[in-house]
């Protein structure tokens, strides 16, 4: 059940990330900004370039295998699986962008922070939550 939870969490994040990027690409051109509030904006940025191909894919696959082992052997249950699944789904979303487009699309702009996307938020949030649960 824990590995199924990990898989479903990763799949949900991957689908959400790709859906938001598809929506963005269909409605905003590169560099265009839509201000939601005075502090939050949607700004399409073709960020982090690089079509690494196989090296990135192999590194990603190795990390996923390590995470699956941690979840399987930890006996910590569903919360850890959801957190790590979110991180895997986010990494998969950015990997899909790199392999398909040659760069990652970022679009969430909050104040002075660097522009990010759903995948970045899931990677950060999932990893920090997993660390919290493991401590």
Residues serving a catalytic function are 106, 120
CA proximity to 93, closest of 30, 31, 10, 29: 10
Q: Tokens 């962008």 — which residue?
A: 97
Give, in degrees to the nearest 5, the angle at Cα 126 between 110 and 38.
Answer: 10
Q: Give the relative orientation of helices 54-74 and 2-27 as an angle to the nearest 10 degrees.
A: 140
Strand partners, 130: none
Q: How many CB atoms lie within 10 A of CB 62?
A: 10
Largest CA distance in the chain: 47
């Amino acid at each position: 059940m824990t590995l199924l939870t990990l898989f479903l969490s990763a799949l949900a994040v991957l689908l959400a990330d790709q859906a938001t990027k598809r929506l963005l690409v269909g409605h905003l051109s590169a560099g265009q900004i839509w201000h939601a509030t005075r502090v939050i904006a949607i700004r399409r940025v073709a960020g982090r370039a690089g079509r690494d191909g196989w090296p990135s894919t192999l590194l990603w696959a190795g990390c996923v295998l390590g995470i699956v082992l941690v979840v399987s052997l930890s006996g910590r249950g569903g919360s850890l699986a959801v957190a790590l699944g979110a991180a895997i789904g986010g990494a998969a979303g950015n990997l899909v962008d790199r392999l398909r487009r040659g760069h990652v699309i970022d679009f969430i702009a909050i104040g002075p922070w660097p522009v990010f996307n759903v995948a970045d938020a899931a990677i950060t949030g999932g990893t920090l939550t997993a660390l919290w649960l493991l401590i």
